[in-house]
Structure 1
Amino acid sequence: MATTPSPEPLDNRHRLPTLGEVLFRRTLPPVDLFSFYIYMRDQQRSVDYLDFWLDVTQHMSLCRHYVRELRRSNLIETPELEKAGSKRSSAVLDNMEQAGPSTEKQTPEQRVSAFLRTDSGSRHSHQNSQGSGQSMDRPRPSFMGTSVTNSPHNDSTPSGANASTSPGHTVARSDLKASAVKILYTYLLPGSEREIILPQGILNEITTHIEQNGRDDPEVFDAAKDYVFQAMERDAFPGFLKAKALGNIVPPSGMARLVAGLICMFGAFWTAFVLIFLDYPRSTRCFVIIPFAIGVYALLVQQYTVEPITAIPGYSEYTFMTFSRIREPFIRRLLIKRALMVLLWTVLVVAALSCLFIFVPGKRL
């Protein structure tokens, strides 16, 4: 299972980022999560896979919030624990978090899942021991009613989870169930609204856990989440790095430059031959430098996907004619080097073509 990468200072990362760093927001534009989302939507045409991964991550955040809230609730409802000292309270919290089958090497996600699988029975026993008419599963404001968005502009936790941290906003167990069912019916079932392709074995296992076993813990989606992560890492992420780390224009801009470059080169060659065969003086033929420069520059920009006019000042194109500042230090240095290379090649090629058509002897036909 993909884990959160260790944060690394931006100035010390003299390399291209990994997919994990992008997904867990350890990078800056133009290789940030928002850029990857746009790339998956506009160029890869498979944004549903990224949305699935983000929704499963948000489901994990929702489960963590539910467990933390339930732990706080148990401490508040048993004030005698506070009198026993912080050591005892801490031990109770650890026992709650690791309820159910566990090992010493369990990850936080596995502990949350283990706790959620045993939560229903433990809450029932706790209510019986209370002897009161109050229920810990009393009606609460629904988390799923809160606006939750997949936009990578947001924090790593759902917007509803952020709102739920304040008093008066709680997460019910039914909200976890609704979240799991929503993911199943949105992405996984055949014919669903945004169906993604998964191995049949993984799909059957998830469907059985949710619909028959009633599970809603994060481990239900582990196999599918890992499969989607590996698919994006293998099929989409290399193209994303090529487009955003090695270039700063989008395909529509590249196509526009290709068309403009071809037109300018046709005009430059046509003008150069006309001036030669009409025996114009070399001082007049010097003007062919202008169309040659524009044409060669446009074609090299399209070939290298680097626009020096915007790359050197530190800007990259998100969508057609929409620019944002390059904030990743290593990427900015890399793009500046490539931009200077484009300018160098432009000067060399234009100089060669211009000398050829300026100094060749003219002959009037």
Structure 2
Amino acid sequence: MVSGRIEELEREYAAVERSLGDPAVLSHNAEYLRLTKRHRELTPLITLWRQYRQQQQQAEEARSLLADPDLGPLAQLELDSAEQQLGQLETELEVLLLPQDPHDGADVILEIRAGAGGDEAGLFAADLLRMYSRYGERSGLKITVLDASESDLGGYSRLVAEVTGDAPYRQLKWERGVHRVQRVPATETQGRIHTSTVTVAVLPEVEQTEVELDLSEVRIDVFRSQGAGGQGVNTTDSAVRATYRAGTPDEIMVVCQDGRSQIKNKEKALNILRARLAERQRELQAASEREARSAQVGSGDRSEKIRTYNYPQNRVTDHRLSGDDKNFPLDSVVDGHLGPVIEALARMEREQQLAEMTEHAQA
């Protein structure tokens, strides 16, 4: 375990605590908020580290009594218990030391688009929205549809929603990619199984300072809201379409017609535009890194097939996992019980990070 790194963070923690007691800092709101956020981030790690050192001390005390004929047996029991606790605490500390995704706490722009499969893909897009909504109800997330294109059968060819609540990106980042469904469509008269696809994008919302957006390159159009997200607001020109670099290969178009306020819809449309630009920059950076390493690595981006929903076999298979861990009961997952899938993917990522950290330390 990298105790030197933890000791360095403990010194930072002590410095942050001293600064929070400084009257000058209390009067500087931005600095106070930055320090309280850092204090909150470090507290779990430092608390665990202090428990670890306490267990180390208990282990040393027990070890010193092993030779005592009267206290030796009891000391051995205490030593065994302390060493077991140390092992558990060390694993937890290693996990806390892993690099955190800076966007984990961010709100999310969720985009669901029907792919191959026509009407059936649109119906599955609606099923995914329902799945995420039910998961959100159980997990402290609120999903608000901002714009949608409905199909005649009640599905969606495209849907954009905002997700707010308890760390939306941390919970939903595993969902980005291509979702494949295998089932007999309601419109199929001969009972044949069809395969359809839906693409899901999970974009963390970014601060205005994180993405440089030249508003002179954005065309804003307003029109009457209609369809999903627009009911009840179609009596005024409240919907907003924001087009970035219209008519160029870089064009990005965003439509927002959720609210009654044109100003709020414009603000949300620009937020989505920034999120898409940030995602484009991350994709370009990831492509550059892959080329530099001369090896393909899974990026989890929207071009990858990540999961198959097999209705005849009542099974969901996540292709990023392996062995028995990759299969889940379909009826439970589509009802919004995504927790086991998300936990398995998060555990896989932690194991990979720990392996890389160990390899780096040995090197």
Q: TM-score range by the shorter chain?
A: under 0.3
What TM-score, normalized to structure 2?
0.25
Which structure is richer in relative contact order (CA contacts within 8 A, separation 6 or more)? 1
Q: If each structure's helix is expressed as a fraction of its own residues, which one has the higher value? A: 1
What TM-score, normalized to structure 1?
0.25
Q: If each structure's strand is expressed as a fraction of its own residues, which one has the higher value? A: 2
